[in-house]
Structure 1
Amino acid sequence: MARPFARLLYAALAALLAGTPALSAELVMFEQAGCAWCKRWNEEIGPAYPNTDEGRIAPLRRVDINKPIPEDLSNIRVERFTPTFVLVENGQEIGRMRGYQGDEFFWFLLDEMLRKLEAKEAG
């Protein structure tokens, strides 16, 4: 239900930031081969995500948990449960979402995490 309002809020934020350096936030998706829920996310959300306001604020970064973790994410706790989505800004975790239970749940939790990011930016 809060999604349309949140989209307007994020669009306004994106417009305000258009003249400033890009946010260093990203949504890290910890995944692994054979993960059925990762596959479902890829089918239901993946193609659209980069075209959304949320995707512009926090671009998606995929990390395979069975490969070496990138050095810049070394202070982010990696779980064996996939998918796990971690909103990261400047190497610091802002929020975390474990699993994928459908598109509405994903967007709702992502909106909550992005509000934390916005509060941190304003704070």
Structure 2
Amino acid sequence: MIRFLAALALMTLPAAADPLRLLMVEKDGCIYCQAWDRNIGPGYAASDAGRAAPLMRVDIHGPYPDGLALARRPFVTPTFILLENGSEVGRLEGHMTADQFYPALSDLLTQAGRS
């Protein structure tokens, strides 16, 4: 319930409220989303990437925050979409270990000029 309320609070803010955000598209029961929550999620906010692009979560079926400009609708969970002022900079699709996730996200942050 707390996770739902936190997600709802984030979704009520316009996506463009923060210049850079990482949108995690997830689905209830997704074992790969749960693995991310266990293995990467606890340290994400304290990481360099987490400070540069705070996490925002949304269910794959929506509702999505207002003002998003995505290249295409996500179809895989988890999908991580780097947003700059609400527009997609790039995305990471599918399950990754921490050793894969952080370098890939670092590349997206470099694309956005934040690394």
Give TM-score, length-normalised by structure 2: 0.78
Percent of aligned pairs with the same residue? 41
2:93 alignment partner in structure 1:
98
Any residues of structure 2 matched to 1:14-25 within 5 Å, and which?
24-25=19-20
Give the CA deviation at 1:66: 2.0
2:59 alignment partner in structure 1:
64
1:26 aligns with 2:27: no
Give the CA deviation at 1:91: 1.6
- Give the Cα separation in 1 of the matches to 2:112 and 2:44: 18
Give unmatched runs, 5+ long, in structure 1.
1-22
Q: How many residues were matched structurally? A: 97
More helix by share: 1
1:43 aligns with 2:38: yes
- Cα RMSD of the aligned pairs, angstroms, is 1.7
- Give the Cα separation in 1 of the matches to 2:52 and 2:96: 22
Q: Which one has more relative contact order, counting CA pairs under 8 Å at least 6 apart?
A: 2
Give unmatched runs, 5+ long, in structure 2.
1-17
- Give the Cα separation in 2 of the matches to 1:92 and 1:67: 17
C-alpha contact 1:30 1:78 (8 A) present in aligned 2:
no
- Give the Cα separation in 2 of the matches to 1:78 and 1:45: 24
- Give the Cα separation in 2 of the matches to 1:62 and 1:111: 19
Larger Rg: 1
Give TM-score, length-normalised by structure 1: 0.73
